[in-house]
Amino acid sequence: MILDKKVTPYKDSSLNKKEQVEKMFDTISGNYDGLNRLISFGTDLKWRKKVLKYIIQHQPESILDIATGTGDLAIKFAEKTEASEIIGLDLSEGMLSVARKKVIDTTLESKINFIKGDSEALPFDENSFSAITVSFGIRNFDNLEKGLSEILRVLKPNGLLIILETSVPTKFPYKQGYQFHSKILLPIIGKLFSKDKVAYDYLSESASIFPYGIRLNNILQNIGFINVKNKPQTFGVATIYTATKL
C-alpha cells in the first residue's frame, strides 16, 4: 500500500524513514514512558490492558511483541501468561536498553528475550508464534504491506494478531478535541520535555494520515488475514485490531 503522503521524522535528513525512526526513538527512549503517560493522560495503560486480556484468553505458547519499545507489554505477557517463549523486538537499541533494565536481576529476565530487529524482515522462520502484538508501531513501518506480510509469515495457523494503534475520532466534539490535542498540545509537550524537538511533531502527523478502521481492516484482509475486526477505544482516539491466520 502507498499512503497519500509519506511522513518522516526529519524533513531535511538524507536517511530513509526506517533509519530516521530508529534515530528518533534512540533519542527519546530515556523519557519515553513518562511522556507517554503524560500525553495520553494514562489511557494508553487502559488500552494495553485490553490487549493483555485478549492474549490471556488466547493462551499462546509463544508471543512476539513487535515495536516493543521499552518492553512494558512484553513484561506483562511474562507476568500474566504461561507462554514459554516471549520475544520483544524493536528497531531502536535505545528503547531496548530501557526494556532490558526493567527485567535485569528479576525472575522475568529469563522469560523474555529483547532483540533488535526489522519488522519488515523478521529474523524468524514461518509459523513461529502463536500470537503477535504491535502497539503504536505499524504506522512507523516504511512499507506497511511488507511489514504485515512478514507478520503473517511468522504467525502460526490459527495464531492471533493484535494491533493497537492511534486513530482519528469522527464525531463532535471528540474530533475537535483530538485535533487540539494532537496538533497543538502534543507537539508543545514534546518540545518542552523531549530531547528530540521534532519527534512529537512526527508522531502527531503520522497518526493523522494513517489508515485506520475499515481501511486497515481491508489492508489486513488483502494481505491474507482472516476474522479481521476493529474495536475503537476512548471515542476513537485509538483502535484495537484483531485478526487470525488460516
134 belongs to a structural domain:
yes
129 belongs to a structural domain:
yes
Task: Compute the half-sphere exposure of residue 9: CA atoms within 13 Å on the CB side of its CA.
Answer: 24
Tally of domains in the chain? 1
* Predicted pLDDT at 61: 98
* Predicted pLDDT at 173: 87
Asked whether the beta carbons of 51 and 133 are under 8 A apart, the reply is: yes
10 belongs to a structural domain:
no
* Predicted pLDDT at 145: 97
4 belongs to a structural domain:
no
Tell me, what CATH number does 189's domain have?
3.40.50.150
pLDDT per residue rounded down to tens, the chain (246 residues): 334 457 898 887 889 999 999 999 999 898 888 877 877 778 899 999 999 999 999 999 999 999 999 999 999 999 999 999 999 999 999 999 999 999 999 999 999 999 999 999 999 999 999 999 999 999 999 999 999 999 999 999 999 999 999 999 888 888 898 888 888 888 787 777 777 778 878 888 888 889 999 999 999 999 999 999 999 999 999 999 999 999
184 belongs to a structural domain:
yes
* Predicted pLDDT at 1: 39
> Model-level pTM greater than 0.85?
yes
6 belongs to a structural domain:
no
Measure the CA–CA gap between 131 and 129, rounded to whole angstroms.
5
Measure the CA–CA gap between 130 and 228, rounded to whole angstroms.
16
Asked whether the beta carbons of 103 and 169 are under 8 A apart, the reply is: no
1 belongs to a structural domain:
no
* Predicted pLDDT at 33: 86
2 belongs to a structural domain:
no
* Predicted pLDDT at 5: 59
Asked whether the beta carbons of 159 and 130 are under 8 A apart, the reply is: yes
* Predicted pLDDT at 203: 82
Domain that residue 81 falls in:
17-244
